[in-house]
Every structure is written in C-alpha cells, then in structure tokens.
Amino acid sequence: MAFAPLDPVLHNQLRLAVVSLLVGVESADFNYLLAHTGATRGNLSVQLNRLKAAGYINVKKTFRENYPNTSCSLTRKGLKAFETYVEVIKGYLDT
C-alpha cells in the first residue's frame, strides 16, 4: 500500500512544534516559541524563515519598549497544511 507523502516543510521537529503551538493561539512572540520549543535562537530563526517562505506563518516585526519584538501567527495555508499533515500521519499510524 502506498503512503501519501508527508509535507517536507512540516516534517521537521522544530517546524512542526512551532506550527502545533500556533494552531492553539492567535499569535505568539519569538520568546514564547523559544521557551516552549526548547530550540536555540539561531535554529528557531532559521525555521521561522522556512515557514514564512512556505506561506505557513505570518511574521510581524515591531518594537516593544525600544526592543525588537517578533510576533508569529498561522496563515490559512499553514492551518490547511497542518490538518493535511495530521491526516497523513494518522494514516501511517493506523496501518
């Protein structure tokens, strides 16, 4: 039996963790994602750029009390990709 291919953008622990966090919230800032994923700043930054390039997340850079603040939220495309990924994973686990 042939398995549906997994989305390579989401099939990465850190990117999947970020998208799974964003599914449950309206928006989350960089430090929140850092604290909850346990990633390094550099790696998180790279993976956020990958997700943004795929159109899965919106990244808004602002200043909060003179410090840069990066806020991320899931796009409709990102949510759809996540739902599809979960369905495919379920298919793998059910067989």
* Sites of contact with another protein (CB under 8 A): 11-14, 16-17, 20-21, 23-32, 35-39, 43, 64-65, 85-86, 89, 92-93
User: Angle between the 13-23 and 41-53 helix axes, to the nearest 10 degrees?
Assistant: 70
Which is closer to another protein, CB of 59 or CB of 92?
92
Of the chain, the end-to-end C-alpha distance in Å amounts to: 9
Which is closer to another protein, CB of 25 or CB of 59?
25
- Determine the residue type at 82: F
What does the radius of gyration of the chain's CA atoms come to, in whole angstroms?
Answer: 14
Which is closer to another protein, CB of 1 or CB of 26?
26
Nearest approach in angstroms of CB 9 to another protein is: 13
